[in-house]
Amino acid sequence: MKKVGLGVIGLGYIGKIHLRNGLKLENAHIVGVSDLSKRALDDAKILGVKKTFTNYEQLLKEPNLDSVIIGLPTHLHLDCAIRAIEAGKHVLLEKPIARDVKEAKEIVSAAQRNSVKLMIGYPHRFNPAFRELKEKIESGELGDVEIAYATFISSGPFFHRTVGYVPSPVPEWWFDKELTGGGALMDLGCHLINLLRWYFGEITGINSYLGYRFNIDLEDHAICMTQFESGTTGAINVGWFSQEYQLKIDLLGSVSHASAQHRPENRLVAAARMLTTGISKLYWPHLAELQYFAKCLIQDSKPSPSGEDGLKDLEAISLAYKNAVDLERWR
C-alpha cells in the first residue's frame, strides 16, 4: 500500500499532537516539519523527523510530500493554506477554517480550482461516542429529536501547557480579535456547530448571548439558541472559565433520549496509557482523524468534514455574532 507523505506546519500545542500521531500511522509517513521555533524543530528531530524547516515554503518543495497538516494560529491559515494548495498539496487545516467568511471562501475556492482535497480538523467527529449518537439519530431509535443540548467548557487559553501543570505564558494572539476572529464561540463553538450540523442538517437560525467574565475584548463564554432544518432546536453552551473540561451532547427525542460525553482520564491513568500505547484517551480521536485523512488520499475520496463544512460552520458563527446580546446587560 502506498504511504502518504505528510508534512506538519506549526509545532505548537496541536501541531505536536499531529506530529506524534503521524509518526504512528501505517498508511502515512512524516516527510518533514516546519516551525519558527528552533526548540520545536529540535524536539521533532528527537522524535525521528529528518527534515525540518523554519520556512514552510521549503517544506512544500519536498518531492515526496503529498499533503500538509496546518496547525498555525488562525490568522495565518489563509496565506499558508493557499500556498500549500497552489503547490498541489492536500490539506488538513485546523479549525476554525479562517478568521472570517471571506477568508474561508478564498481557501475553499482555491482548493476547488486546484483539485486539492481540503479537510478541516474536527477530531470529535471521530469520537466513537459522538458517532454512536449519529447512528441512533439515523436509525430512528430516538424518534424526532426535538432538543439538543451541547456543552463544551474548558480553560481555553488559560490551561497549563507544561509538564506538572505549571502555568506558562499565553501567546498574545489568543487575545487579539483581529487575529482570532472571535473568542470562546469561535474556538469551542465551531466544534459543537459542526457536530450538530452533522446530526441535524443546516442551520436556519441562530442567536447568541455573549459573556465577558475576564474583561477582555473576546467573549469568554457564550450561549447560542439554534434552529436546524430538521426541526431540532439546539442550545449550545461554550466557555473558557473552568479548569475542569466538559464536552457533552444530550439529545431529547420523541421516543427516547441519549447522551454522549468526551471525558479525559485522570492524570495517572493517562500517564499509564501513554507509557503503554503512546496516546491518551483524550487524543485518540485526533489519531483516528489523521488515519482517515490519509485513507481518503490513498482512495482518492473526498474527506469529511470538508472545507465547505468549515465554511458553513463559520457562516453560522458569523450570524451568531451578528445576532448577539451582551450578557452584561442582563446582570
Q: Which of 41, 61, 57, 39 is nearest to 49 (CA)?
A: 41
Q: What is the pTM of this model?
A: 0.93
**C-alpha grid cell, residue 64:** 515526496
pLDDT at 197: 98
Q: How confident is the model at residue 221, as a pLDDT?
A: 96
Closest to 294 measured CA to CA, from 129, 77, 126: 126
Sort strands 246-253 and 257-262 into parallel, antiparallel or unpaired. antiparallel
Q: Name residue 203's beta-bridge partners.
A: 228
pLDDT digits (tens, 9 = 90+) for 97-141: 999 999 999 999 999 999 999 999 999 999 999 999 999 999 999
Q: Give the separation between CA 115 and CA 150, rounded to whole angstroms.
A: 35
Question: Whole-angstrom Cα distance, residue 291 to residue 299?
Answer: 12
Q: What is the pLDDT of residue 266?
A: 61
Where in the chain are the domains?
4-123, 124-264+307-330
CATH of domain 4-123: 3.40.50.720
pLDDT of residue 29: 97
Do the two domains 4-123 and 124-264+307-330 of this chain adopt the same fold?
Answer: no
* Separation in Å, CA 29 to CA 119, 194, 290, 325: 18, 28, 11, 47
The pLDDT value given to residue 272: 46
The CATH code of the domain at 124-264+307-330 is: 3.30.360.10
C-alpha cell of 173? 494572539
> Are the C-beta atoms of residues 270 and 281 closer than 8 Å to each other?
yes
- HEC-encoded secondary structure of the chain: CCCEEEEEECCCHHHHHHHHHHCCCCCEEEEEEECCCHHHHHHHHHCCCCCEECCHHHHCCCCCCCEEEECCCHHHHHHHHHHHHHCCCEEEEECCCCCCHHHHHHHHHHHHHCCCCEEEECHHHHCHHHHHHHHHHHHCCCCCEEEEEEEEECCHHHCCCCCCCCCCCCCHHHHCHHHHCCCHHHHCHHHHHHHHHHHHCCEEEEEEEEECCCCCCCCCEEEEEEEECCCCEEEEEEECCCCCCEEEEEEEECCCEEEEEECCCCHHHHHHHHHHHCCCHHHHHHHHHHHHHHHHHHHCCCCCCEHHHHHHHHHHHHHHHHCEEEHHHHC
Looking at residue 170, its pLDDT comes to: 82
Closest C-alpha among 313, 305, 317 to residue 122: 305
In the chain, which stretches have pLDDT less than 70? 1, 160-168, 265-280, 326-331
Closest CA to 209 of 230, 184, 229: 184
The whole-number pLDDT of residue 160 equals 59
d(CA 303, CA 122): 12
Contact 278, 47 (CB under 8 A): no
